[in-house]
Every structure is written in C-alpha cells, then in structure tokens.
Amino acid sequence: MGIFDFLSGEFIDVIHWTDDTRDTMVWRFEREGHEIKYGAKLTVREGQAAVFVHEGQLADVFTPGLYMLETNNMPIMTTLQHWDHGFKSPFKSEIYYVNTTRFNDLKWGTKNPIICRDPEFGPVRLRAFGTYSVRVSDPAKFLVEIVGTDGEFTMDEISFQIRNIIVQEFSRTLARAGIPVLDMAANTRELGQLVSKEIEGQLTEYGLALPELYIENISLPPAVEEVMDKRSSMGVIGNLNEYVQFQAAEALGREGAGAAALQAGLGAGLGMQIGHQAAQASGPWGASSAQTAAIAPPPPPVEHVWHVAEGGQTKGPFSKAQMGRMASAGEITRETYVWTAGQDGWLKAEDVMELAQLFTILPPPPPGV
C-alpha cells in the first residue's frame, strides 16, 4: 500500500445514516477523528435532513438526495473555510442527521383537574387525555434551539415539554370555549383543532410541527359522574309517584305479615273476580249478565302504606297495621309527620283521618276506685 493510499484511507468519502430505532430524532455522524474528503458522497434518504456544523457554526443543510461535497453545493461551508475556487482539501465538520418523519401515537393528559365554569352545572373539574404526532419542520432551527451538541437526541427528551404545552393551551382553550360539559364529546374534534392552532406558533420556534392532535376523552370527577347517573336513572323512571307506589308494594311483599295480608287480599280479590265472572255467565235464577253486573259489589279498597319522618330521615313504608303497633309502643305520636302516595306533602299523624283513630283517648278509671 502506497503512502497516498494510506492517507486517502484516513479520509471519509461516504457519509450516510440508516435508523433502526423508532424514537431517534437527531444522530451525529461519527467521524472518529477522520477528516471528510473533499468530493465525498453524502446520502440523505427520504425522511432525513443532514446539517453541517463547522467550527461551532451552523453551515449547510441538505435535503433528501445524493451529493458530492464540493464548493458548488456547499456555499456556506465554502465561505466559512475561505476556499478559493477550485481549491480541494479535506475538512473537519460535524454532521447531524435529523429525522423529519412523523412520530406518532404520543400520549398527553392532564395531571391535575382543569376547573371550568359550566353553564348548567356551575364550576366543574375536568380531566382529559389523548394522542398527538410531531415532526421536525426546520432541521437547522431544531438543532440550534433544542438539540445543541447532543450526539443522539430521542423523542423522550422533548415529549415532556410538548405535553406541557398541549395541556396549557388545552386548559386555556377549554375555559374560553364555553362548551357545556354534556356537549364536549360532540366537539372534541373542533377542540383539538383549536389547540393545535394555538400551539403552532410556539412549536415553530422550536423547528417543530404538530400534524395531528386528538382528544380521546374528557371526564368529570367520579362523584359528579355518579350524580349524573342517578339523574339519568330518574329520567328513565318517569312518573315518580307511580315508582314510589311500586317500590312500596314490593317492600310490603317482602315483609312477613305484609306478605300474608297481601296474599290474603289477592286471594279474596281473585275469588271475587271468579265469582263475578260466573255470575255474569249464568246469573241467579236465570237473571241476565247485565243485571248481575249491576248488583256486583265494588272492588276492595287499596290499603295505603306510610312513610315516617324522624330525625331528618325517612322510614318505611309501613302498613296501617304496623303503624297501629308503632303507635301502641309509643314509636310514633300524634305529632309525627307521615306521608303516603297521593298525599299533598307531609302531615301530622293526627291530621290524617286513617291514622288519627290510632291515637284513642284512654278511658277514665273504673267506678269505685
């Protein structure tokens, strides 16, 4: 090997970079002390940009393509090196490859709740999360403002800063938008576009762009969501009075004495219904069905069930028989407030005709005592 072949071997004449990672944004071409040969080949693939830094100063930026490193395509480097026309010599420069493709499926979310004023619920605390994508739009500016001299810059090193910017602008946009909480799910796309527009200028100063921003969910605190579920359940129930009567009937059926009374009442009602149908079919002494229907007794009255207010809480429902036992035991008095379905508000027990008779006046002492 001649001396000229040895010296030429100390020069780098092929420069390229292939990335097998998913998060590398900038990679510095390692020269290992070798100088770059004048006229060397520089390969910049699609989704890449090559930035030359000479003696600490930003020099030329190369977009995708194949280049021969000569004075005609390195104008800034030629000026910094003070090369004359046709002068050919090796040089030392740092070469940074910048990944200009999109970095997708990056996560963002609010660490703390965002306090907003909702037109329907008043002050509410909201949380949100979603995904975004980012890419380098200006390799030279990104290298100067963010990377510096880092030989291998990854997405993790800048993602935290971007998440903070997104959350800050999302909070401001959400507070200004005035969208009701119940309508936010239908406007997540518009909110995402507004947030992207707001942070576009700030990211441009870093040499970055935000092609996509998605809001996956906006949620209320669990306690508020529980109240909303109850409110939805009330909407499904419909008529509250009918629902209370249904619940009272179920509670009565679950109690021992009440169940027996209810079964007896159902049996009596069923027997009267069967007898009524038989009377309609034949009639006494050949009487017509119409005449039999005219003398049929009315159905038995429906027994009320009562709720009792005591110490700011309600108890019940109780049947009339149970109310009588409670009156005898002194658990309720004339001043006790009671309520039953169909009654207009709470009333004292002595003001309800059916219950007033439970509080009888004690008889006088027997004669001769």
User: Same structural domain for residues 159 and 221?
Assistant: yes
Residues 162 and 245 grouped into a single domain: no
Indicate if the pLDDT at residue 330 is higher than 90. Answer: no
- Which tens digits make up the pLDDT trace of 252-263? 666 554 555 545
Which is more confidently placed, 74 or 15? 15
342 assigned to some structural domain? yes
Q: Same domain for 51 and 116?
A: no
User: Quick one: pLDDT at residue 50?
Assistant: 95
Q: Does residue 278 lie within any of the structural domains?
A: no
Find the CATH number of the domain harbouring 143: 3.30.479.30
What is the domain count for the chain?
3
Given a contact cutoff of 8 angstroms between Cβ atoms, the answer to whether 118 and 181 are in contact is: yes
Q: Read off the pTM.
A: 0.57
pLDDT of residue 321: 83
Residue 100 — very low, low, confident or very high, per pLDDT cuts 50/70/90?
very high
> Residue for token digits 């039999």?
292
Same domain for 347 and 318: yes
On whether the CB atoms of residues 98 and 142 are closer than 8 A, the answer is yes
Q: Are strands 65-68 and 35-44 parallel, antiparallel or unpaired?
A: antiparallel
Quote the pLDDT of residue 66.
93
Which residues are registered as beta bridge partners of 326?
Answer: none
Residue 185 domain-assigned (yes or no): yes
Is residue 323 situated within a structural domain? Answer: yes
Give me the mean pLDDT over the 321-332 stretch: 83
Q: Is residue 345 part of a domain?
A: yes
> How large is the average pLDDT for residues 265-278?
55
User: Is 126 found in the same domain as 58?
Assistant: no
Residue 30, pLDDT score: 79
Query: What pLDDT does residue 6 have?
Result: 41
- Which pLDDT value is given to residue 154? 93
Work out the percent of the chain whose per-residue pLDDT is above 70. Answer: 75
Among 99, 116, 136, the domain-final residue is: 99
pLDDT grade for 177, boundaries at 50, 70 and 90 = confident
Higher pLDDT, 321 or 89: 321
Average confidence score pLDDT of the chain: 79
- Both 251 and 343 in one domain: the answer is yes
Number of H helices, E strands in the chain: 11, 16
Residue 341: both structure tokens together: 């379905």
* Shared domain check, 95 and 178: no
Residue 294 belongs to some domain of the structure: no
Same domain, 11 and 62: yes
Is 193's pLDDT higher than 60? yes
Confidence band, pLDDT 50/70/90 cuts, at residue 98: very high
Question: For residues 109 and 128, is the Cβ–Cβ distance under 8 A?
Answer: yes
CATH number at residue 312: 3.30.1490.40
3-class secondary structure, 130:
strand
Whether the CB-CB separation of 91 and 16 falls below 8 Å is answered with no
Both 52 and 91 in one domain: the answer is yes
Last residue of a domain, one of 174, 203, 225: 225
Asked if residue 250 is part of any domain, the answer here is yes
Structural domain boundaries, residue 311? 239-259+304-360
pLDDT at 5: 44
What is the per-residue pLDDT for 37?
84
Identify which has the larger pLDDT, 207 or 80: 207
Query: Are residue 138 and residue 163 in the same domain, yes or no?
Result: yes
Q: What is the pLDDT of residues 58-70, one digit of tens each?
A: 889 999 999 988 8
Token pair 């520089």: residue: 42
One domain for residues 201 and 127: yes
pLDDT of residue 155: 93
Q: Indicate whether 220 and 110 sit together in one domain.
A: yes
Whether the upstream peptide bond of residue 317 has omega within 30° of 0, thus cis, is: yes
> What pLDDT shows up at residue 361?
58
Asked, for residue 231, whether it belongs to a domain, the answer is no
Kindly report, residue by residue over 226-250, the tens digit of the pLDDT: 777 776 666 666 666 766 776 777 7
